[in-house]
Structure formats: C-alpha cells, structure tokens
C-alpha cells in the first residue's frame, strides 16, 4: 500500500450485526469504506470479549480493502502470529499491554504485516516517541477502549497534534478511534489525523437491507472534514 495522508474512513465492525459479518463487511465496502477495523478484546485488558483468530480468518475473504486489526489484549505477543495468519493487513497493539512494546512492534513487523501502536486516553504522546521509526501507524484512543458508542474525549485532539509534530515526514499514519462523528472528526483531522475509525456513526440507522444509510453516514463524516 502506498503511503498517503488523505482521510480514510475505517468502520468498526463492533457496531455491525454480529449474525451477519460477511454481508456487513461487503455493504460498508460497497458504500465506500476505505479500511475495515476489527476490534479484538480479551475480557482482561478491556472489559469486553470479541474476536479470536478464527473469527478474523472468517472475515478475511469478505474484506477487499484493508483489514485493520486492533488488539486490545494482554499479553499480546503470544497471539501476534495467529492474527497475522488470520489475514490482518495491519496489527495494532497497545503501549499499555505489556512492558515490552518495542519488542511487540518488532514481532509484528517480523510477520511482514504493518504495525500500529495504540495509546489509551490516559497515556501521554511521548510514550510512542521511541517507536516512530518502527511503526506504520499511531492509534490515538479518544475513548477508554472496550465498547462502541462512548463519547469523544477532547484531550485526544492536542495529543494528536503533538504526535503529528513528532512524526515529521516519516510515513506514519495517525488513526483516531472512539466517538468519531461529523462533529468531532474535523477537530482531529485538523490536528493531523488521517484514519478515522467510526462504529456507531457509520452503522447507526442502517442495515444490510439499508446499506445506503452507511454510505450517507460516511459521506457526512467526509463532508465535515472537507
Ligand atoms: C473501542 C473500539 C472502537 C469502537 C469505536 O474500544 O476500539 O473501535 O468500536 O466505536 P464508536 O465509533 O462507536 O465510538
Ligand atoms: Zn478499535
């Protein structure tokens, strides 16, 4: 994938119909999703449980764009290969998930996949500074991870600005995850973000029988960021 900073929308299938993932993925892509964001939760690092590697592997053939796998699990290192084999294009792990985030990023890169590093709202921007030559993306969480539909935490805007400055001209994406809406998206794009994860703001009001609503919801976010 060639690097660019154009704004990309990555719907989180955490807000999809859990009985119908294949059709939901096809619907959001047909309506213009740039990436597909898969939220992996372990009931330990975050208070919720979602997708193991076999589920992610089952999503893979439906994803024609780019499968962005957000691991909210701890420990994370023992599972990297399994998610790589399941077909992730990008694997993102949290700074807070263990004592050796640099090793975790090396392990992701060793699989040949792209590597992302995520920060919780309570973690300062500086935590990713030593990793910027190693990673392909920094994920700034703008909610405390675990659930969709929470409200945007404003301090993520300034943190995004700091990280954008730290990245300089390295080819590193900045992704925002949590509470992204047509109201909050312009704040983070102006601060330097280029990948917007959105769960409820994309899926709200739509279904596989009304996929046009997904398209309208994504268009509202794109229009808001100009
Ligand atoms: C939160 C997840 C998010 C979540 C976003 O733990 O990482 O990807 O699905 O959902 P919204 O867009 O509804 O805040
Ligand atoms: Zn996520």
177 is catalytic: yes
- Measured CA to CA, the distance from residue 54 to residue 137 in angstroms comes to 25
Q: Would you say the CB of residue 156 lies under 6 angstroms from ligand 1? A: no
**Structural domain count, the chain:** 1
Q: How big is the CA angle at 83 (ends 104 and 9), to the nearest 5 degrees?
A: 90
In a domain, 164, yes or no: yes
Give the domain CATH number at 120: 3.20.20.70
Report the candidate in 151, 71, 55 with the shortest Cα–Cα distance to residue 111: 71
In a domain, 139, yes or no: yes
Q: Could you report the per-residue pLDDT of 15-36, keeping only the tens digit for each?
A: 999 999 999 999 999 999 999 9
Closest ligand relative to 11 C-alpha: 1
pLDDT tens for each residue of 141-197: 999 999 999 999 999 999 999 999 999 999 999 999 999 999 999 999 999 999 999
In a domain, 2, yes or no: no
Domain contains 3:
no
**pTM, whole model, 2 decimals?**
0.98
Residue 69 lies in a domain: yes
Question: What residues are paired with 69 via a beta bridge?
Answer: 38, 91
pLDDT band at 1 (very low <50, low <70, confident <90, very high): confident
Closest C-alpha to 66, from 19, 29, 100, 21? 29
139: β partners: 118, 175
Query: What is the rounded radius of gyration, in angstroms, for the C-alpha atoms of the chain?
Result: 16
1 within a domain of the structure (yes/no): no
Q: Is the CB of 10 under 6 A from ligand 1?
A: no
DSSP state of 111: T
Residue 38 domain boundaries: 8-225
Mutate to test the pocket of ligand 1, among 11, 39, 67 (most ligand atoms within 8 A of CB): 39
Write down the catalytic residue from 34, 42, 136, 177.
Answer: 177
* From 9, 10, 11, 12, mutation site for ligand 1 pocket: most ligand atoms within 8 A of C-beta: 12
Task: Give the number of residues written for the chain.
Answer: 226
């Amino acid at each position: 994938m060639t690097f660019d900073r154009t704004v990309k929308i990555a719907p989180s299938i955490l807000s999809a119909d859990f009985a119908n993932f294949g059709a939901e993925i096809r619907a959001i892509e047909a309506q213009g999703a740039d990436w597909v964001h898969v939220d992996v939760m372990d009931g330990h690092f975050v208070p919720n449980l979602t997708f193991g590697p076999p589920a992610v592997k089952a999503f893979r053939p439906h994803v024609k764009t780019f499968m962005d796998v957000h691991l909210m699990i701890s420990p994370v290192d023992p599972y990297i290969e399994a998610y790589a084999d399941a077909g992730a294009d990008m694997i993102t792990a949290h700074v807070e998930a263990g004592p050796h985030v640099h090793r975790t990023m090396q392990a992701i890169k060793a699989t040949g996949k792209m590597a992302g590093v995520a920060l919780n709202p309570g973690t300062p921007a500086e935590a990713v500074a030593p990793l910027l030559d190693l990673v392909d993306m920094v994920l700034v969480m703008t909610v405390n991870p675990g659930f969709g539909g929470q409200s945007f935490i404003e301090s993520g805007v300034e943190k995004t600005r700091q990280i954008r400055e730290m990245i300089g001209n390295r080819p590193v994406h900045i992704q925002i995850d949590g509470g992204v809406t047509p109201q909050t998206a312009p704040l983070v794009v102006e601060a330097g973000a280029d990948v917007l994860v959105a769960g409820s703001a994309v899926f709200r009001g739509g279904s596989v029988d009304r996929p046009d609503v997904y398209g309208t919801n994504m268009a509202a976010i794109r229009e808001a960021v100009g």
